[in-house]
Amino acid sequence: MVSVVLCFILLVQGEANKALTDYYASLAGKTESIRMFLVADPQIGPADSSVGFERELEQTLCKMVNTANQEQVNLIVFNGDLVAFPRPDYFSAFEKAVQPLKMPMVLVHGNHDGKYEDGLFLSMQERLCGFRLPDYALDCGSWRVVVLCTPDLLEKNDFEGQIAWLDNELHEAWRRPVMVFLHYHLLPVGLSQLEYYTYPKDRKNKLLDTIVRYGNVQYVFMGHVHNGIKASVRTAWEYQGTKFIVLPTLVPGRAFGEEYPEFNTEKDRGYFTEAIINGSDVKLIGRQLDTEAKHEYPPNFPVFTKDMDPRAFMNWCQMSSYKGIKNGDFEQGLTDWLFPVRYQAEQEPGFIHEIQKCDKLPGEQSLHLFVRYKGHAWQYDESIDAYQVLQIPDGDAKPVVKMQYYIPNSEKSFYGGGFIRVALFKDKEFCWMWVGHWGAREERVKHIPKIWAYHDGVSANPQFLDKCREERKFVSMRLPDYGYRSHHITLNISELIHSLSPDINFQSLSANTLLIMLGVWCGNEEGSFSGAWFDGIKVNWNSEEPSIIDNLSINNKMFLQPFPYNCWYTAGYDK
């Protein structure tokens, strides 16, 4: 019986592969120049959708199809998120919009495009292209083009099977140049939400390792991020010899806050990339519908290494850790402090981390963090933080964390704030966390808890923090933020843990990693910003100093208020 089923599977697979070969036959043996349009995130709805934004995007896609036909390109790639929602009428709208195309198309599955079980994507793929394959590869001149779906389209979410297929495909094509298309970004792009809104770290690392293994993948094209041309160029990286490029999107972009002046920024949509292949050479040109503007991508991009943003790829316990705080007075600049990659706009950067003299703090140099609203769609809170990972010494440690901070009135706004976070881990396991916070409209912070969860290896569900509060694994308190003076804080970690849970002490947690994180955030309305200054950060591993804030003893009454982040959304006020 098993052999019969296996034979049937192989037969179906063989028929699908033949249909694929036939569909792309015009590209396989092509020796002259090949022109491709690379289009990410159409995210359309039906032409008669009650949501005007969805109707506009459907019209934008129709313009894209007309442009491809008029310019007679050889291939068009839709790099994921074809529809806004995985519903039959949305897929019907996409299918109707692209049916007039006079050239083959590549359909890449994105996170908006449903799951294996609903069959919507694969059924449409079969009607448009003649085959049903979540992952596939095709010949395009001298190049091998590899297409990867998101894990949702894999039967039984078989990611390991996908990795094995990819490894075999790249091994078979080891003498040929390869370009890979997939939806999720694999390297940092510099916005807060995009830290966690991608593959889990283990899957991201496996994909990266497999892609660069044989040295033949020249380009990886991704979508998902939502960006224009300038952000596509400035977020591109070269990693171990492979160029990773987030394609510009038909849908409006996220909060990168800049675009090349030749493009229509009032509409801020309809962006795509033209790829011209001549032999082994590829020229990339950024374009926008309804304009004549073109911007050629540079031939090379900045080199990325994982130590530039280690938390994007490692758990805290896997990172290089110190036996004590290093450069806590910032007299050596930013040395020894780690920061996530953040996008640096050329005019008025949205994220700043720098060393400057602060008159309200005693040192010659202090850490200054600042974030500001940069406009555009899809934005909630944006944040920037600095952190160190410390190795807790063996034995009867009694850690005390001390620091000073200052929040000038000139760096406060109607929608922004900041936080100080101290967390304990036992290897990869989250143990305990204290968060001190300040700001305005804190309940509308959405991304920060999800960023923490992604890096802590815990559930991003807001109820997780509530559960940790009930279990006394998480405490938070509002910190003073008087703009005329600095503030001093001392945290006796053992004392805090024991005062909240008399039956638990620091040693019983068996924690071996301590994380110290300092951050600021701003909201998603014009004019919002936030800044803060930090200095004198110290850790004493064996101290009896009590917990205080500005000479006032920290007590359990300060922990009674619920942690405000995300409350707006869990209460449904955004609906």
Question: pTM of the predicted model, to two decimals?
Answer: 0.95
Q: Is 488 helix (H, G, I), strand (E, B) or coil?
A: strand
Residue ranges of the chain with per-residue pLDDT less than 50: 2, 5-6, 8
pLDDT computed for residue 561 by the predictor: 86
The predicted structure's pLDDT at residue 265: 83
Dump strand ranges (E) for 399-528: 400-406, 416-426, 429-440, 474-478, 487-492, 513-522
pLDDT of residue 92: 98
CA dihedral 356, 359, 363, 364 (to 10 degrees): 50
CA angle 206, 146, 289 (to 5 degrees): 110
Contact 502, 509 (CB under 8 A): no
Q: Which helix (H) or strand (E) covers residue 18, if one does? A: helix 2-23
Domain boundaries, the chain: 28-301, 314-570
Pairing of strands 429-440, 105-108: unpaired
| φ/ψ (deg, to 5) at 61 | -65, -40
The pLDDT value given to residue 375: 82
Q: Which fold has domain 28-301?
A: Purple Acid Phosphatase; chain A, domain 2 (3.60.21)
By C-alpha distance, which of 404, 540, 415, 556 is closest to 480? 404
- 3-state helix, strand, coil split of the chain in percent (to 5) is 30, 30, 45
28-301 against 314-570: fold identical: no
Specify the pLDDT at position 11. Answer: 55
- Element of type H or E holding 449: helix 447-456
Residue 147, SS3 per DSSP: strand
Residue 288 tokens read as 């926008």
For domain 314-570, which CATH number applies: 3.40.640.10, 3.30.450.20, 2.60.120.260, 3.20.20.100? 2.60.120.260
Cβ-contact 534, 489 below 8 angstroms: no
Cβ-contact 216, 178 below 8 angstroms: yes
Residue pointed to by tokens 């591109």: 236
Q: What is the pLDDT of residues 90-140, one digit of tens each?
A: 999 999 999 999 999 999 999 999 999 999 999 999 999 999 999 999 999
Q: Are 108 and 79 in contact (CB under 8 A)?
A: yes
The pLDDT value recorded for residue 569 is: 82
Pairing of strands 416-426, 429-440: antiparallel
